[in-house]
Structure 1
Amino acid sequence: MTVVNDFIDPEVREAVSGFLGDVEVGLRAAVVSPEPLISEVAAHLVEAGGKRFRPLVVALACQFGDEGDTRGRDEAVVMELTHLATLYHDDVMDEAPMRRGAASANSRWTNSIAVYVGDYLLARAAAIAAGLGEEAVRLQARTLAQLVRGQLAETVGPRGADPIRHHLRVIEDKTACLIATSARLGGMAAGLPADQIAALEAFGTSIGIAFQLSDDLLDIASESAQSGKTPGTDLREGVPTLPVLYALAAGDTGADSQRLKELLTSGPLTDDALHAEALFLLRESAALKQARETVHGYAEDARRHARALPAGAPRRTLETLCHFMAERTG
């Protein structure tokens, strides 16, 4: 279920909540197919819920338009369908058994069915975008190309490039590009001038990177399942998140730093004792603080772009979102 977060200004909260409710209806309608199996598998992740962050960004951008404007719902559906399609494909590539607390589509059905239904969601998104005009189609195609580029870059690795720079570029291409396009489409639906649409898109890129990085930090820093998964999951699976990359690049020659590097370079930490040791050392390391500072930097950059937008409740909400994103990791 979509929940309007507390950071949304009271003056626009009701409008945003209604917008997101309409998007839920649109998503459920979009995944219906004459073929029952397609409908069942396509609805799997829609019904599982999620943050709906991309529709939220569209909704917030739309608030800069005329009061009561109902445009932007289809744009939000296009973005969320595109996002969901990538999750079906990612789970196949990662051989993931779970997604959003339920069995992943690939484990519940098969890899082939999950891939085909991901393709179906992309086709449905394209069909809806076609009804929004040529520019919306062009933006969705550009975003898909960037998503593929990011996925490919993640798959092949840095290949001699700086691992930290490579990691941040992958996040921009795989995650932030959808959020940036969401902001742009919302600004277009609101009828904003070109300079303000550009500011929204730049905001979306920066807040999108902060969003993904903060999720990765929660996986390390949270004592609960605040991140939506068991803390330390990325560490256990050998996923190189930003704190890990900072720890590996650190010049600290202390015993704790060296031991952490030894653990992090030993592969996936499937042994419970070694995993707990690495998680403790990483939580106490300067690398985690450095990663938090990086999140704060992207959040502040997003705030700077938001300040180019008209003053009022929508801008206050974007600025509060920046603060929320910077502080959610502690």
Structure 2
Amino acid sequence: MFKILSVKKRVVDRELSNIIDQQIKNLEFAMPIKYFFSAGGKRLRPIMLILSAQSVGGRQSSVLQLAIAIELIHNASLIIDDIIDEEEERRGSMPLHKKYSNKEAVIIASTLSALAIKLATKYGVEVTKFLSEIALRLCEGEYLDYNKSSQYLTEDDVLLIIKNKTAALFEASTFLGALAGGGSSYEVKALREYGFNFGMAYQLLDDLADLKNHRKIAHNSMIELRPILPLIFFIRHYDNERIINKLTSKNITFDEYNYILKMMEENGSMKYCEHRIKDFIDEAIRSLYPIKNSKYKELLVSLAQYLPMLISK
């Protein structure tokens, strides 16, 4: 599976590079855009769009530019995420807003979104309209994520944020791939459901991995906890006001974090999140039942089954 994904990634990277070179060569801010994309990426969303198209009989070449449109929207959202979260690193490099400025980063995010819509118009009104709706959902998810306090969030709130951010783009990838690939209405519906459930599992798993990886942070670091599912579960099921107040504060120390992490493991917060991840993965695989058997369907199934390995790569 990973060998095929690597081949697909090279195809996407090559097309992305060509489109970026063609579209930005006359722009004064071409260098920041090239800098941003030089950090690379998994290209998982465009790969899933291509596989979805091929699973319903479509050709890779016919949906390649649509796959790039999805990747551009995704990267535009990452730039905005980094600004809002005041990130210091992106894919092992300095994020765009740190390398240049917040203002330049916002302009580049807007440019990538505009280019994505331009590419999508080649595929018709329905595709362009759906991509625009997904962009609006991303904005809504970002706003909810930024404006909600962990202390007052419910599990439904957390899942809604994921639905409108991460899951929205995976859902768009598989839906648009199936649509542009010529899939029937039931195939398009099945692949859309697959992408949604895959995206929900992906973000929950990514959040859980980030939570555990804080063990690697230096002892003198302050840690800011994001409102993620295991944290919300812990707040709702742990009766200790002092700990909860500390947990919902802006920053906690390394030692405080490790103590709270231990408590979260003991009260079942981590295990609960793992169960929810499994539920979404199982539902993603079940969603593919109407799709006829092929190597492309098998790859989509494998992507869901080996999702933990994809997150760690």
Range class of TM-score, shorter chain: 0.7 to 0.9
After TM superposition, give the deviation of residue 327 of structure 1 in Å: 8.0
Preserved CA contact (<8 Å) 1:78 1:128: yes
Closer, same or farther: CA 100–183 of 1 in aligned 2, 3 Å: same
Residue among 5, 13, 24 paired with 2:13: 24
Alignment deviations for residues 148-168 of structure 1 (CA, whole Å, 9 cap, x no partner): 111122222279975210110
After TM superposition, give the deviation of residue 106 of structure 1 in Å: 0.5
- Give aligned-pair identity as a percent: 24
After TM superposition, give the deviation of residue 266 of structure 1 in Å: 3.8
Task: State the partner residue of 1:5.
Answer: 2
Does 1:150 find its partner at 2:141?
yes
After TM superposition, give the deviation of residue 17 of structure 1 in Å: 4.6
After TM superposition, give the deviation of residue 67 of structure 1 in Å: 7.7
Does 1:103 find its partner at 2:111?
no
Alignment deviations for residues 205-262 of structure 1 (CA, whole Å, 9 cap, x no partner): 110010011000111235888xxxx699xx9212111110110111x55xxx777535
Task: State the partner residue of 2:232.
Answer: 245
Task: State the partner residue of 1:268.
Answer: 251
Closer, same or farther: CA 274–190 of 1 in aligned 2, 3 Å: same
Closer, same or farther: CA 97–37 of 1 in aligned 2, 3 Å: farther
Residue among 290, 305, 311 paired with 1:323: 305
What amino acid sits opposite 1:237 in the alignment? E
Does 1:313 find its partner at 2:310?
no
Alignment deviations for residues 41-83 of structure 1 (CA, whole Å, 9 cap, x no partner): 1123322112212112112212214486522111110000000
Residue among 296, 303, 308 paired with 2:285: 303
Note the 1:27-46 alignment, pairs <5 A: 27-32=16-21, 33-35=24-26, 37-46=28-37
What amino acid sits opposite 1:192 in the alignment? G
Closer, same or farther: CA 260–286 of 1 in aligned 2, 3 Å: farther
Closer, same or farther: CA 161–281 of 1 in aligned 2, 3 Å: closer
Residue among 228, 251, 273 paired with 1:291: 273
After TM superposition, give the deviation of residue 88 of structure 1 in Å: 1.2
**Structure with bigger RCO (C-alpha 8 Å, 6+ apart):** 2
Secondary structure of residue in 1 paired with 2:156 = helix
The TM-score normalised by the length of structure 2 is 0.88
Count how many residue pairs are aligned between Structure 1 and Structure 2: 308
Closer, same or farther: CA 67–272 of 1 in aligned 2, 3 Å: closer
Residue ranges of structure 2 left out of the alignment (5+ in a row): none
C-alpha RMSD of matched pairs (Å): 2.9
Task: State the partner residue of 1:203.
Answer: 194
Residue ranges of structure 1 left out of the alignment (5+ in a row): 7-12
The TM-score normalised by the length of structure 1 is 0.84
Preserved CA contact (<8 Å) 2:57 2:183: no
After TM superposition, give the deviation of residue 320 of structure 1 in Å: 2.3
The CA distance in 2 between the partners of 1:272 and 1:137, in whole Å, is: 46
After TM superposition, give the deviation of residue 316 of structure 1 in Å: 2.2
Preserved CA contact (<8 Å) 2:56 2:183: yes
Closer, same or farther: CA 328–63 of 1 in aligned 2, 3 Å: closer
Residue among 201, 206, 223 paired with 1:236: 223
Alignment deviations for residues 147-204 of structure 1 (CA, whole Å, 9 cap, x no partner): 1111122222279975210110010101111111110111123211111011101110
Does 1:115 find its partner at 2:106?
yes
What amino acid sits opposite 1:322 in the alignment? A
Preserved CA contact (<8 Å) 2:190 2:287: yes
Preserved CA contact (<8 Å) 2:68 2:116: yes
Task: State the partner residue of 2:162.
Answer: 171
What amino acid sits opposite 1:29 in the alignment? N
Preserved CA contact (<8 Å) 2:215 2:258: no
Preserved CA contact (<8 Å) 1:62 1:190: yes
The CA distance in 1 between the partners of 2:151 and 2:212, in whole Å, is: 30
